[in-house]
Structure 1
Amino acid sequence: MSPNRRSVLIGAAILATTSAAGFGRRSANASTPGTGSVLVIGAGIAGLTAARDLARDGRRVTVLEARDRMGGRLWTDRNWQDMPLDLGASWIHGIDGNPVTELRDEFKLPTVVLNQNVITTYSGGDHLTAAEMAEHEADAAAALAAIQVLSALPRFSNTSFAAAIDLVLTQLRLTGIRADRVRNTVHHFIQDSFGADPEQVPLWVGQHHVSHGGDQVVFPRGYDEIPTRLAEGLDVRLGHVVDRIAHDTTGVRVHTDHGVFHADHVVVTLPLGVLKTDAVTFDPPLPAKKQEAIGRLGMGVYNKLYLRFDTQFWDDAELIAQFGVPNDPMAAWFPLQSVTGVPVIAALRGGSVARRIETLDDTATVAEGMLALRAMYGESAPEPRDYRITRWSSDPYARGSYSYPGIDSTPDDRGIVAEPIGNRVFFAGEATHATESSTVHGALLSGRREADLIRRIG
């Protein structure tokens, strides 16, 4: 299991996170066929990376994006003028050898280290003592190591993390509060990593992931500077909703609410959550093998609650872990004042916890967050002056946050989803990367992969 997946990976952390309306042009006129032409569906990182590489190769590239902004699941909210808020992706997960780091350096963008190494932990309203923390760290390390051993055994490949933690707790003879804390830690670890619950994720994933070392960093000016710079010079059509993709030996035809676009090839970067719906149809239908792989993979949910206050009342820490929260195995709070200079704290939730919270309205969501904070810091904790909330599973152009391997999935499924059809239809996006899915860098690498494949086809 990687120690730097997602924004925190609580289990591992205990052991050691533009509106682009000015770019491209809106047009009601569909394109005409042309030699070497490529349509790219989606102006997220995968799509923009593929489009940029293909345009540099001399192809005529048009990017079709349903939203009125670029970035996809990378989305910076700029309503707070003194603090851009990344509502989707936030971190470069390990800067060493990471392709997103290459873009950061190419575009000369500032980043700030936010590693989650300095951790404060509460159980109910009390700090865990140094002795309790040391004990829990040792217990969690032993449990995660035991799970990793199980994940390498073929007979446990499709065993769920939920079943595995029960097994290793018995092996380690951990009971009572110590077992509960380890179980909750591993549950949060999975919810954070995959946007899914431990019952939904198989152990084999522990043997099929490549991670990057080095610091975890965030973008104080907003992550959306990456897609904004990637899109420079590209023909990006915002507000173009695709509903049908047809192809034959003569080329591809992409049907949108602004007309039909023709090209030699199309790169589809629709999120897995959208591929699972009938929002976009394929003619001919996707091969049965591909549809089955899409069905076996899952689309996780990972949401954020930003709370802004006039003054800081929480710990000076990079991460605040909280046991004993109702309806939540363990809460993770991220103080952001060291990054932004603004007293803002963020709660990040995944899996069924995120899905349940997403059903609440804003008032109830904020109230639930404040109930958790006041359990740690007392009833005198003030009401926030402002807030921001994400609801990614309700987004029709995402249907979730990032993909995860379903309990019946195999390590081959992502490669099957990525397989091109007839050298006409190509697939990119984080869900198509075999070893670095659910990350920005995985999406970026998938875009490069498909652009290179089209170049090699000729």
Structure 2
Amino acid sequence: MSITRRTLLLGAGTGAVAMLLASCTPTPAPKPTRTRTPAPKPTAPSRVPAPTTWARSTWATDPYSFGSISYLPAGADPQQRDTLAEPLMDRVFFAGEATDATNPGTVLGAVDSGHAAALALIDAASEKERVAVIGAGAAGVVAARLLADAGHRVTIFEARERTGGRVLSQTGDDWPVPAQLGAWLITPEQLTGLRDRLTALGDRQLTFEPAAAWSKDGVTDELTGDAIAQAVDKAKTFPADVSLAAALEQNGADLKDPALVAALAWLSATTGADPANASSWYPPAFRDDVLTGMTEDLGAFFDEHLEDLEVTLASPVVRVAYDDSGVSLRLGTGEALSFDRVVVTVPLGVLQQQGIEFAPALPFAQRGAIAALASGFVETVWMRFEEAFWDAQQPIWHVVGGDGLIRTWINLLPAIGEPVLVGLVGGMEAEQFSALSERDARAAARQALAFFAPPEQDES
């Protein structure tokens, strides 16, 4: 796949569409939280074989992301995203999905924010300035491309040893399609909007129907968010914003009801939001429609558009000093470099953990916005087996009941003809899963899959 500079940015400011991030730590400001319990140390059941190939994300514990998807907690306001995006002295500009009020928590939001930050910088700058871009994810790539095409001398600093940020594809002979550990699930409408911006994205996708709800008795029905929608409607009449979990309780819902637990787990797996923290006035969307899975090597897609730009990998920026004459960056190595302006695209979780020091300190309003927004967790695990051990033909499974750490699974066998299962876990359970060792994570995944193993394979 190839794409020109011009097609990369075509229509980058049009349409209101989104692409899920498969996506930071809880905010430091006091908020309602639920008690965290240690993740179980599971023993894999023998009826679920060991996978022949395995890959998983650990965004929650990644020091260069601390999570996956920003969302609004109870008491937060969408305006705080705009506040976070405000430039400092026309020297420091901010981009990233957390700064976009139209498509927050999405790759499209990241793309649009990078576009907006670049245009704002171009408007403030003179010709051929030295510009630094911190972060080589979606926002950083778009901003850098536009700035370079406008004639500025751009240097990109990426903390990781690869580009792509929270977009990560694993390829190779072991995978019949790239194993997407970051952004890859979107709605058909979102796919159309994404192509409006990235016109040569590619045309290979997989389509998955709505999730099937599974209980111990087998498939029960499609997963529904009716109880959540009713609670959100009632919450609009409350004098103050409360968490989604609190709104459900006040609407008479039983938070221990297996069907509701399953619906909330699905919500977390697709948005990263913790129901005990998420706003009921500005709740995350319950996705009960068809999902499309991208099968492109998304990391290579971004690399292709950085080929003629100066990209410095394994170079975390730890300090940004700025005044009305320019910007100085200090790298983790201790090296200091000077630029005219900088675009900061690091994830919200990095800002919340004060991974970058600003001198002078960020204005009070921006610090308040960083503290007020929440970072959600979504982790993805891909497992390829020698042969299918399951009988289920549905493309999306979601567990109602049981105690498995991973409740949502995507069955790729009908779509690609290969025995590949993809697990999604969100919210606090995703944070637990991210912290597990590789051995324990594999065991937890196999234990969760025991729900779908035919009874006759049970050795007991």
Normalising by structure 2, we get a TM-score of: 0.65
Structure 2: tracts of 5 or more residues without a match: 1-15, 23-105, 107-125
Report matched runs for 1:45-444 at 5 Å.
45-79=138-172, 80=174, 82-96=176-190, 99-107=193-201, 109-117=202-210, 119-124=211-216, 126-129=217-220, 133=221, 137=224, 140-141=225-226, 143-153=227-237, 155-156=239-240, 158-170=241-253, 180-206=257-283, 216-256=291-331, 257=333, 259-314=335-390, 315-326=392-403, 328=405, 331-378=407-454
Q: 1:286: how far off?
A: 1.1
Structure 1: tracts of 5 or more residues without a match: 9-16, 18-32, 383-458
Query: What is the CA–CA distance in structure 2 between the aligned matches of 1:7 and 1:43, rounded to whole Å?
Result: 15
Query: What is the CA–CA distance in structure 1 between the aligned matches of 2:243 and 2:199, rounded to whole Å?
Result: 39
State whether residues 161 and 198 of structure 1, in contact with CA within 8 Å, keep that contact through their aligned partners in structure 2: yes
Query: What is the CA–CA distance in structure 2 between the aligned matches of 1:192 and 1:3, rounded to whole Å?
Result: 19
Encode CA deviations 1:109-152: one digit per residue, 9 max, x unaligned.
Answer: 232132333x433212x2144xxx37x74xx42x2331331343
Helix, strand or coil at the partner of 1:370: helix
Query: What is the CA–CA distance in structure 1 between the aligned matches of 2:288 and 2:434, rounded to whole Å?
Result: 33
Helix, strand or coil at the partner of 2:422: strand
Computed over aligned residues only, the root mean square deviation of the Cα atoms, in angstroms, reads: 3.4
Normalising by structure 1, we get a TM-score of: 0.65
Q: 1:341: how far off?
A: 3.5
Q: 1:95: how far off?
A: 3.7
Q: 1:45 to 1:358 in 2, by over 3 A?
A: same
Q: 1:258 to 1:3 in 2, by over 3 A?
A: closer
Q: 2:280 is matched by which residue type in structure 1?
A: L
Higher RCO (CA-CA < 8 Å; seq separation 6+): 2
Q: 2:162 is matched by which residue type in structure 1?
A: R
Aligned length: 338
State whether residues 113 and 215 of structure 1, in contact with CA within 8 Å, keep that contact through their aligned partners in structure 2: no
Q: 1:258: how far off?
A: 7.3
Encode CA deviations 1:404-429: one digit per residue, 9 max, x unaligned.
Answer: xxxxxxxxxxxxxxxxxxxxxxxxxx
Helix, strand or coil at the partner of 1:183: helix
Identity of aligned residues (%): 27
Q: 1:160 is matched by which residue type in structure 2?
A: S
Encode CA deviations 1:172-218: one digit per residue, 9 max, x unaligned.
Answer: xxx79xx7134213421442244232111111213x98x99996433
State whether residues 141 and 306 of structure 2, in contact with CA within 8 Å, keep that contact through their aligned partners in structure 1: yes
Q: 1:308: how far off?
A: 1.2
State whether residues 44 and 72 of structure 1, in contact with CA within 8 Å, keep that contact through their aligned partners in structure 2: yes
Query: What is the CA–CA distance in structure 2 between the aligned matches of 1:59 and 1:289, rounded to whole Å?
Result: 30
Helix, strand or coil at the partner of 2:160: coil
Helix, strand or coil at the partner of 1:205: coil
Query: What is the CA–CA distance in structure 1 between the aligned matches of 2:457 and 2:358, rounded to whole Å?
Result: 53
